[in-house]
Structure 1
Amino acid sequence: MTTNIKTIPVAFGSGIFELSIPDKNISSIILPSEPETKGERTCLIKKALENPIKSKRLSEIVNPDSRIAIIVSDVTRPTPTDKILPPLLEELYLGGANRKNITIVFALGLHRLQTEEECRRLVGKEVFESIRCIQHDRERCRHIGDTSFGTPVEIFEEVLDSDLIISTGTLEFHYYAGYGGGGKAILPGVSSEKAILSFHSFYSKVFEGAPLSGRNDSPARQNIEEASKIAGLGFMLNVVINSKKEIVAATAGDFIAAHRKGAEYVDAMYKVPVEPADAVIVSCGGFPKDINLYQATKSLENAIPAVKKGGSIVLVAECSEGIGDRVYERWNSECKTPCEAVEKFRECFEFGGHKAAIVGKAAKEFKLYLVSKLPEAESRNAFFIPAKSVEEALEKILSDNPEAKIHVMPNGGWTLPVKR
């Protein structure tokens, strides 16, 4: 009897794997409901800036003396900052803003410093050479208050010293904050290490509860927005991108109201009802979503609702920069079992260790495979079964259960399956 084989392209870093899977084993290909696009739609950004939500236009807010800080994403995010900045700057110039008074700030959070070439590529050559661009410095933050969650609001002084703070970014699902974007550019984006660690420490109290991804009422989102109000975030411009990293929606204005509108776009496109299957093969969607294992675990979490308990998850993530966090790497070495990682996290929050606990929690419920460039020992330390290819992982799943029904998620970094 002939077995019909389906070939599905799966992103891996900046390249593509071709996954060959028997038709009879495919439960579904979980894809977002993306609108048709014809190349970049920067006109959506201009339209959003001309029709801000619960806010005046930027051109009505600024004047020639306004000192302006524009917060932008770092290299770990897929934000098309080079497409966002030209219409944003045009709107500021329309109000008389002086480019000498504008500073672009890369929101690093606790991430590494970027190279000059990375900074230039992110904002575009012309902007990089005409506007002052600096990177967030966790050592140069001022304390200006505290949120009701007890998180100190300690913000990079270059941001605080401006008359107008503008946040930019990509609106997408986030495992802890519900969604990215909005005030997340402030906390953790340009906050002190103490503030960021305080912000993340609450995750140890909620990580074993109901999933928070795709929810606006998460404690982290509330904490973010309290901190952003205290910091004086004056305006936001966020985009929603598709799996090709093209802009498909944009919202601007009040950083809460405009964020909620953007979340509606994300939900409509990326929440996909599913029946849990025996296994799921999930790609992060390629670079930069799979730049390291720290970032790739977000796609692992997104895939969990699509799998029956006891099933298998195959995470396809290049991890060209390795684990991506020293603490996460240390926890992987120190915690010998998934249970040990979860128990340790319950007792002692340590930023970076939360990733070991997240994967440990998943490894207690599912069989986890990892297709990556990590050494096999590192994959095993992180509670994954290493596989050299997607086919190798698939063979192992089918050898255990030849009739297994399998979901394929080509865009795990963006897509959120929701149980029917």
Structure 2
Amino acid sequence: MRTIPIPYHTGTADLHIDEASLEAVIVAQTHGYDPGQTETDIIRSALQNPVGTPPLHELAQGKKNVVLVTSDHTRSVPSRLTLPILLEEIRRGSPDAQITILVATGLHRPTTEEEQRRMFGDRIVDRERIVVNNAFQPEDYVNLGTLPSGAEFCVHHLAVECDLLVTEGFIEPHFFAGFSGGRKSILPGICSKETVNENHSFRAVASPFAASGVLEKNPIHEDMLAAARRVNVQFIFNVALNGEKKVIAAFAGDLEQAHAAGVAFVRSLAQCPRAQGDIVITSNGGYPLDQNLYQSVKAVATAETCCREDGIIIMCCGCADGMGGDNFARIMTMGPPAEVEAYLSAIPPKESIPEQWNAQVYVRVLKNHRVILVSDFLPAEQIRAAGMIPARTPDEALALARAEKGGDARVVVIPDGVAVVIV
């Protein structure tokens, strides 16, 4: 019997499984990667050796109004480490610059002060100007025309009014944007709900190129990149993380060149060969990405690529923050998957509903696979209403799956389904 810890909420949940039934355990090499440096050394080294731009302190010289875009409470960006150093670099070049930290929420709920203190530290919350993006306040946005897809581009006015725009984030595989990081800080990070909705339309998400690890010809990526170029992001700082959310690499400099370098690094460690199973067990890598059911589809989409037709996916997701959004919850509980998909496919891009995209991917999966959700926080009746089977532990879920698929079912385990790209 083998014990496999599955990331879950702020810890792990153990899966106990007979070795003989294991087809594969798929783990990204990022999880065991040893950079040979401290996190702070990695961060400072990247800033001292930017890709495609002068150092940040040189770019900051003479700048009066600086906006630094950072990620919200749903992301693992180690801002406690990175923000103080980025602020130090900006002030090294322009000691008197007015700096605004703009929290990129996309369509997520606003980041609370308590969450900001956990993410950034008390010193930054008490001393710096922090603005939390709210995509539902139209007065905060300016229209900069259209993007390659034809979508209207409305972005937070602070990004347009500043004379130096800097972003920070982290790079990992993304189930329809290819990879996170870089341009994603702008779109969806600080765009209006209309722009985000259209970028995430049914048509865009249904593209065969809107997939994990794919950037070329990806319509979602193309609009995101065009948006970041339009507002003149002059400097990015992105990190790569291991399974413990520790920095193992950092990439600074030009919007495209630095992001490409980071993507190449992450891809080299994240790509894993495909294995097929009758049962596939995964997670979202634990907190903060497993806060709600809405986010859980990211790992489910990875599991889908390894699950045989009519197989069962077991998703371990704490869901401490519930379903994750009223629209998502409504769509997920409105009927059988095929009916929901038909409803979503009829929505024109410019009329896209917030959160429909994660529901779109979920119903695509649910048309072909049963999904068992392991959650301590989400009530069983809500799980069933969303078309899934509730379980409290990975072992309970595996027993339920075996009862349906038989004792000889082959099992694939992907402990962190967000960290891998299946090829």
TM-score for the superposition, normalised by structure 2: 0.93
Dislocated runs of 4+, deviation >4 Å: 37-40
Is 1:66–1:97's contact at 8 Å kept on the other side of the alignment? no
User: 1:142, CA displacement in angstroms?
Assistant: 0.9
User: 1:164, CA displacement in angstroms?
Assistant: 0.5
Residue-pair matches, total: 411
Is 1:204–1:345's contact at 8 Å kept on the other side of the alignment? no
Q: Aligned match of 1:366 in 369, 376, 379?
A: 369
Separation in 2 of the partners of 1:259 and 1:337? 40
Question: Considering only aligned residues, what root-mean-square deviation do their CA atoms show, in Å?
Answer: 1.7
Separation in 1 of the partners of 2:205 and 2:91? 44
Is 1:145–1:230's contact at 8 Å kept on the other side of the alignment? no
Is residue 7 from structure 1 mapped to residue 25 from structure 2 by the alignment? Answer: no
Separation in 2 of the partners of 1:316 and 1:137? 30
Identity within the alignment, %: 30
Is residue 16 from structure 1 mapped to residue 12 from structure 2 by the alignment? Answer: yes
User: 1:128, CA displacement in angstroms?
Assistant: 2.1
Is residue 342 from structure 1 mapped to residue 341 from structure 2 by the alignment? Answer: yes
Is residue 357 from structure 1 mapped to residue 360 from structure 2 by the alignment? Answer: yes
Structure 2 gap ranges (5+)? none
Is 1:299–1:412's contact at 8 Å kept on the other side of the alignment? yes
Aligned to 2:418: 413
Is residue 114 from structure 1 mapped to residue 118 from structure 2 by the alignment? Answer: no
Is 1:370–1:386's contact at 8 Å kept on the other side of the alignment? yes
Deviates more, 1:126-135 or 1:160-169: 126-135
| 1:89-238 → structure 2 map (5 Å cutoff) | 89-98=87-96, 101-138=98-135, 139=137, 140-201=140-201, 203-207=202-206, 209=208, 212-217=211-216, 218-238=218-238
User: 1:210, CA displacement in angstroms?
Assistant: 5.5
Amino acid at match of 1:359: Y
Q: Aligned match of 2:395 in 386, 391, 396?
A: 391
Structure 1 gap ranges (5+)? none
User: 1:208, CA displacement in angstroms?
Assistant: 6.4
Deviates more, 1:179-188 or 1:271-280: 271-280
Amino acid at match of 2:302: N
Amino acid at match of 1:88: L
Match of 2:407, SS?
coil
Separation in 1 of the partners of 2:62 and 2:228? 25
Separation in 2 of the partners of 1:116 and 1:64? 32
Separation in 1 of the partners of 2:373 and 2:124? 39
Match of 1:386, SS?
strand
| 1:34-49 → structure 2 map (5 Å cutoff) | 34=30, 35-37=33-35, 40-49=38-47
Separation in 2 of the partners of 1:211 and 1:397? 30
Separation in 2 of the partners of 1:380 and 1:160? 45
User: 1:298, CA displacement in angstroms?
Assistant: 0.6
Separation in 1 of the partners of 2:220 and 2:360? 18
Amino acid at match of 2:415: P
Aligned to 1:272: 272
In 2 relative to 1, CA 212–253 (structure 1 residues): closer, same or farther, beyond 3 Å?
same
Aligned to 1:29: 25
TM-score for the superposition, normalised by structure 1: 0.94
User: 1:30, CA displacement in angstroms?
Assistant: 0.9
